[in-house]
Structure 1
Amino acid sequence: MQIQVSTDNFIHGDARVIEVAEQAVRSGLEHMDDRLTRIEVHIKDQNADKHGPDHILCTMEARPRGMAPMSAHHGGADIQAALKGSAKKLRARLTSVFDKADMHR
């Protein structure tokens, strides 16, 4: 599974942010590794320079083999919370879709 991480102009996509993003994806979706080709992680600061609750938005898009892409979004107070929330939501969506597909085999 390939993991791609991108950030907006207000979040510095340095090595530490990429490492945290990859760790969140792997811990949340590693058991589905053989069914996924790529995960795209997009991290955005919705309030730019201003601060506020849940101002970091993380969107994760999964590319399952032989299926349409699926995504999940989550807002958090910091990057780690947004990553964890979106990984949890994406895992739930993928689990549901994979379970349904497995029943039809």
Structure 2
Amino acid sequence: MQININTDKTIERHQGLDDHVESVVNAAIGRFGEHITRVEVHLSDENSQKSADGGNRCMLEARVTGYQPIAVSDHAATLHMAISGAADKLKRAIDSALGRLHDKQLHRTPTLADETLDEVNE
């Protein structure tokens, strides 16, 4: 699973921030790693001021194999809180999406091709 981190001009990007983002994202969705090809991370400070009014934003977009991209975002007083909040939301969204995809595969109606394949395998 590849993690790409993007920041706006108001966020100073450094190795410590990259490491933090990667560890939080991996902790939240690492168990889905075989289903995810890439996660795009977008960090921004929407009001460009260091205030506690929730101006820090983290948007996460996961590319899940066999499913549409899943995107979530979170606003918080600090960047670290926004990253954690978005990672939790992404974990729930992926769990839900993969559950629906799995249910669809289990409960799909057999087709003529499936029956023909079963006859060949016997």
**Identity across the alignment (%):** 28
Higher-Rg member (1/2): 2
User: Could you tell me which residue of structure 2 aligns to residue 45 of structure 1?
Assistant: 45
Q: TM-score, normalised by structure 2?
A: 0.82
User: Could you tell me which residue of structure 2 aligns to residue 8 of structure 1?
Assistant: 8
Q: Whole-Å Cα distance in 2 between the matches of residues 35 and 78 of structure 1? A: 30
Q: TM-score, normalised by structure 1?
A: 0.95
User: Could you tell me which residue of structure 2 aligns to residue 98 of structure 1?
Assistant: 98
Q: Whole-Å Cα distance in 1 between the matches of residues 101 and 52 of structure 2? A: 41
Q: Whole-Å Cα distance in 2 between the matches of residues 89 and 50 of structure 1? A: 24
The correspondence of residues 12-91 of structure 1 with structure 2, limited to 5 A, is 12-91=12-91
Moved over 3 A (4+): none
Q: Deviations over 1:58-95 (max 9, x none)?
A: 00000001221110010011111000100111111111
Aligned-residue offset at 1:51: 1.8
Alpha-carbon RMSD across the aligned residues, in angstroms, is 1.0
The code of the aligned residue for 1:49 comes to Q
- Using CA pairs under 8 Å that are at least 6 residues apart, name the structure with larger relative contact order, 1 or 2: 1
Q: Whole-Å Cα distance in 1 between the matches of residues 38 and 79 of structure 2? A: 21
Report SS of the residue matched to 1:21.
Answer: helix
The code of the aligned residue for 1:34 comes to E
